[in-house]
């Protein structure tokens, strides 16, 4: 059976087959990925109203791709107070945000209580607001610096109101590439173990992959396969998010950047290979909004959210510093031929923006 037939019959891709997908014509790949996406969600494209908060940029680690960390080129070191964090979360909530996405650097000057206290304060004040916080890299950092286990940090997160985990810190699992781009950060095995432990507690998380730097196609496939294996075990990943590498203001010098074709192929292949992860997210902050909208035809069913403010990718050149309004966001999705569906953090549908009329309908279709 050839690969196209196998994909059409819902067969699972082997490592070799997954790699071969990259050699296929972009539109053949797109049609296969779109077929899977359409069977799952029709023309619905999901997004949420969220606010990214990056409470400190002081970092003990040195990742070559990072332009956000204050330990390198960024002269503006900051650490927010709990009051500042709460005030950002409160004003976002008042404007309709359903989720705060809180990701920080690995700040050695504040203890674990600074992190946990911020979550507790938000949860006590705004119990309805979903807190998606702490990447596995941050959890590993906190466990190491406090000399406690992953389980301890995870239990504290739950006690202090964290609802789900973002997918950051995964970068590329291949150990050689990882060592070169972010030596000293959580290991691949550690990243997967932390997510396994989180899932074992009945909680959901996401998984990212940073691509378009020095990694090769085979490393991306390897990354996807390690995630697929864990997902077979736990079922705890909601979304896979390929993050396109942003090149400015950092130390990872790259000669060739991925073309739009390569980026779209990567979305399509992830939809085909990750047959057990429900959502493929085209995170517009790194892909650009134009390509994210196109990615809807190449397997992606989720465009993340309005973001409102973002500091990590925008420090490296992405045009995401001030997010997007929900009106603009939903209009772009609608005008690209898809049905904008506002979701909550766990993918329950909150509001469907009707295709044919300008009015919205509320509830599930």
Beta carbon nearer to ligand V47, 36 or 172 = 172
For residue 53, list its beta bridge partners. 102
Rg (alpha carbons) of the chain, rounded to whole number: 19
Rounded CA-CA distance 234/332 in Å is 35
Query: Does residue 236 interact with ligand V47 by CB under 6 A?
Result: no
Residues numbered 238 to 267 that lie near ligand V47 (CB under 6 A) are 241, 243, 245-246, 250
**Which range touches ligand V47 (CB under 6 A), out of 19-27, 30-38, 121-129, 202-210?**
202-210
> Under 8 Å CB-to-CB from 72, ≥6 apart: which residues?
62, 66, 250, 251
Copy the structure tokens of residue 139: 């959890």
- Are 68 and 105 contacting, i.e. CB atoms less than 8 angstroms apart? yes
Instruction: State the minimum distance, in angstroms, from the CB of residue 27 to ligand V47.
Output: 27
CA distance 252 to 242: 18
Q: Are 268 and 293 spatial neighbours (Cβ–Cβ below 8 Å)? A: no
Query: Does residue number 55 form part of the binding site for ligand V47 (CB under 6 A)?
Result: no
Q: What is the nearest approach in angstroms of ligand V47 to the Cβ of residue 85?
A: 17
Residues 316-335 that bind ligand V47 (CB under 6 A): 316
**What is the C-alpha separation between 334 and 59, in angstroms, rounded?**
40
Q: Give the residue with the Cβ less far from ligand V47, 32 or 210.
A: 210
- Least Å distance between CB 41 and ligand V47? 17
Tell me how many degrees the CA angle 203-209-215 measures, rounded to the nearest 5. Answer: 155
295 binds ligand V47 (CB under 6 A): no
Q: Are 56 and 107 in contact (CB under 8 A)?
A: yes
**61 sits near ligand V47 (criterion: CB under 6 A):** no
Residue with tokens 């390690």: 226
Residue 264's nearest CA partner among 239, 300, 236 is 300
Q: Which is nearer to ligand V47, 34 or 99 (CB)?
A: 99
Please report whether residue 67 would count as binding ligand V47 according to CB under 6 A.
yes
Q: Which of 18, 33, 36, 66 binds ligand V47 (CB under 6 A)?
A: 66
Q: Which of residues 18, 103, 263, 272 is near ligand V47 by CB under 6 A?
A: 103
49 binds ligand V47 per the rule CB under 6 A:
no
Summarize as ranges the residues that interact with ligand V47 (CB under 6 A). 65-67, 103, 135, 166-169, 171, 206, 208, 210, 241, 243, 245-246, 250, 283, 286, 304, 312-313, 316
């Amino acid at each position: 059976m050839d690969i196209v037939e196998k994909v059409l019959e819902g067969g699972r891709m082997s490592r070799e087959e997954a790699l071969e997908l990259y050699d296929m014509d972009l539109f053949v790949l797109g049609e296969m990925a779109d077929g899977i996406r359409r069977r799952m969600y029709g023309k619905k494209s999901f997004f949420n109203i969220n606010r990214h908060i990056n409470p400190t940029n002081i970092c003990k680690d040195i990742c070559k791709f990072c332009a956000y960390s204050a330990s390198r080129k960024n002269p503006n070191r900051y650490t927010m107070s709990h009051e500042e964090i709460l005030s950002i979360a409160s004003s976002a909530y008042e404007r309709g945000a359903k989720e705060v996405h809180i990701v920080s650097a690995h700040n050695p000057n504040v203890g674990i209580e600074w992190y946990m206290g911020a979550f507790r304060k938000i949860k006590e004040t705004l119990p309805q607001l979903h807190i998606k916080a702490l990447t596995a890299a941050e959890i590993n950092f906190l466990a190491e610096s406090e000399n406690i286990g992953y389980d301890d940090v995870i239990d504290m997160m739950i006690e202090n109101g964290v609802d789900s985990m973002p997918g950051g810190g995964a970068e590329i699992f291949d150990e050689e590439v990882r060592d070169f781009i972010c030596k000293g950060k959580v290991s691949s095995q550690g990243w997967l173990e932390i997510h396994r432990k989180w899932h074992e507690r009945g909680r959901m998380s996401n998984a990212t992959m940073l691509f378009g730097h020095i990694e090769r196609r085979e490393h991306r496939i390897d990354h996807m396969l390690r995630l697929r294996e864990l997902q077979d075990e736990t079922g705890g990943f909601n979304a896979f998010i390929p993050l396109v590498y942003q090149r400015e203001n950092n130390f990872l010098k790259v000669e060739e950047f991925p073309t739009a074709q390569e980026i779209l192929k990567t979305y399509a292949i992830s939809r085909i290979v990750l047959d057990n992860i429900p959502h493929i997210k085209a995170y517009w902050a790194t892909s650009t909004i134009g390509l994210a909208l196109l990615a809807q035809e190449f397997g992606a069913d989720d465009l993340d959210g309005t973001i409102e403010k973002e500091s990590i990718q925008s420090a490296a050149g992405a045009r995401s510093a001030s997010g997007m309004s929900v009106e603009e966001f939903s209009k772009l999705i609608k005008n690209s031929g898809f049905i904008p569906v506002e979701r909550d953090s766990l993918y329950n549908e909150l509001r469907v923006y009707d295709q044919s009329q300008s009015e919205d309908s509320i509830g599930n279709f």
